[in-house]
Copies of this chain bind each other. A is one copy, B any other.
Amino acid sequence: MVSPLFQPLGKALPVPGFRVGSASCGVKSASLRGKRQDLTLIVADVPAHAAGVFTTNAFRAACVNFGEATVREFGSDIRAIVANAGNANAGVGDMERVWSQALIDLGAKAAGVNSNQVLSASTGVIGTPFPIERITETIHQSVDSLAEDNWQAAAEAIRTTDTFAKWSSRQFDVNGKTYTITGVSKGSGMIHPNMATMLGFIATDAPLSAPRLQALLSKIADRSFNSITVDGDTSTNDTVYLLSSGLGLGYTELEDTSDFEKALTEVAIELAQLIVRDGEGVTKFVSITVEGAETEQQARLMGRKIATSPLVKTAFAGSDANWGRIICAIGNSDAPIVPSKVSLRADDVLIVKDGNLHPDYRDEMGMKVFKQQEFSLTVGLGLGEASATVWTGDLTHEYITINAEYRS
């Protein structure tokens, strides 16, 4: 079932220097082999510079630890990403590291490079032995299908409970030359700031060295992947990688990164928002902006508090402009507030001003906004100049059905 909040995406543009392939290994169950793609291989035909952001969960999967170390030590000579869906290879004890290294080695062999040039990612069920032999048997399919114009297949093959494949592309010009950014992402449940059961792989030919890529990715991740929440949980495996082929292709490094940053931000936000739109049971897409905070961090903290309140999210589900619950969530945030300065708008409707219900506000006005599939809440704190936006969905019966009735 395609989410009603999903808008058909444009084409995933090829990125010079990268080829993408996929395979159907039956990772989750051997019976699925041949039925759905579940392994992605991204090959850089030249040494790629790399950056990564990783889950903050203390129980990190081995692939996350390996990947972080590889980016740090060999981040200017990355040649491949190998990723599987269907099994997170997490919480399985001492074998986790062995299986994770085996997946990296398989990816290296498939791409014809060294293991320390390969990043890996695994997503799926936690605590189940990792079927490395099924990948060994079938990974060759991903080599056979390698093509520049194959990003949508990569997006398909990293899906778990995702109901649709997610990708985003942008192009921008600097000094008459056109550069491309293409990314894929996955995730639908257990989504929360700090890389929650989410994978994102972004490739570009914009020529930038690894440290500059890392600085940009870390900055942008806070305003995109770390600004979404479905259910407030954060997984053990979440990772976003950014690879650049530009320097390997012999391009001159960009000095001014402003156009790149703008385009990369758009890609990252689109990839992140698609995850919310595909959130488990989500029927509404809500943008929550907190303005007038002292710091961006405090604004985001409050946005998250509102976005994770079960009472607020069920009010979204019921199209009930229950602003009392929103005010209550604002009061529960660890971010400082002065109640008498707080304002609240739903789209353009002013509900609360100076901490009090606005005299012109009528319930019908809020209800009209909350009935929409997409709307925005804007909280004003009146304390400073900083702001942040968080994107979330509603909490519905379908979420309970998915998570109480099936093991995921």
Contact = CB atoms under 8 A, between A and B. Distances in A.
Interface residues of A, number: 59
Nearest to A96: B356
Contact of A331 (B236, B331, B403, B404): B236
Nearest to A317: B404
The interface centre, meaning the residue of A59, A318, A328, A400 with most chain B CB atoms within 10 A of its CB, is A328
A374 B103 CA distance: 41
Contacts of A314: 399-400, 403-404
A234 B309 CA distance: 10
Contacts of A189: 311
Contacts of A327: 59, 91, 126-127, 236
A94 B233 contact: no
A102 interface: no
A210 to B, nearest CB: 28
A382 interface: no
B404 A310 contact: no
Nearest to A318: B404
A249 interface: no
A330 B91 CA distance: 12
18 contacts: A58-B337, A59-B330, A59-B331, A90-B324, A91-B356, A93-B355, A126-B327, A126-B328, A127-B323, A233-B310, A234-B331, A235-B328, A310-B399, A311-B403, A320-B407, A322-B407, A395-B400, A397-B404
Given A59-B331, A396-B404, A397-B401, 10 more contacts: A57-B328, A90-B324, A92-B357, A126-B324, A126-B325, A127-B323, A236-B328, A320-B404, A320-B407, A395-B404
